[in-house]
Amino acid sequence: MAKTRRHINRPPLVPGRVRSIGSRGFAFVSNRFLLDGFFASLSPDELLLYLLLVLAGDRNGVSFYHYDTLCSLLQMPVERYLQARNALIEKDLVAFDGTRFQVLSLPVGPLGKSARLLKTPQDFEEADAATIRGIINHSLGVNR
């Protein structure tokens, strides 16, 4: 059975303040970003970087912000920026050529790392929240 969406027309709460695309910018995020699960698939750092790139982009989604500027605006260390940037590229949401970013049209669905089976003790130590918590509690001398 195909999923259908109902469009409900509701009047704006403040009719004199309806958003429009002005002459100074072209920021736009499709409602598919929320409805199709892209929003939920991103970490907080990825969301922040994605939103900033949307705001900074021209009508083609292209922006030239240097990583120093992005890190400063996001109040994010370069290591977290790199992780967020690389994740957005892997998830096919942005393209990057070393100088320019382009926010891409949304793919068919969110791309993420597929879950993998945990089999070895190392797998559990790296990816299982309960195991990681147990290791931390043990190292701190907490018995729970």
pLDDT tens readout for residues 48-96: 999 999 999 888 899 999 999 999 999 999 999 999 999 999 999 999 9
Tell me the one-letter amino acid at 41. S
Closest C-alpha to 51, from 88, 21, 11: 88
Q: Could you name the CATH architecture of 25-103?
A: Orthogonal Bundle (1.10)
Annotated domain spans of the chain: 25-103, 114-144
Distance between terminal CA atoms of the chain? Answer: 46
Alpha-helical runs (H) found in the chain: 32-35, 38-41, 44-56, 67-74, 78-90, 121-127, 129-140
| pLDDT higher than threshold 90 for residue 112 | no
Please give the residue that has the higher pLDDT: either 26 or 139. Answer: 139
What's the number of CA atoms in the CB half-sphere (13 Å) around residue 30?
A: 14
Is the model's pTM score more than 0.85? no
Please give the residue that has the higher pLDDT: either 66 or 20. Answer: 66
| pLDDT higher than threshold 60 for residue 42 | yes
How far apart (Å, rounded) are the C-alpha atoms in residues 98 and 100? 6
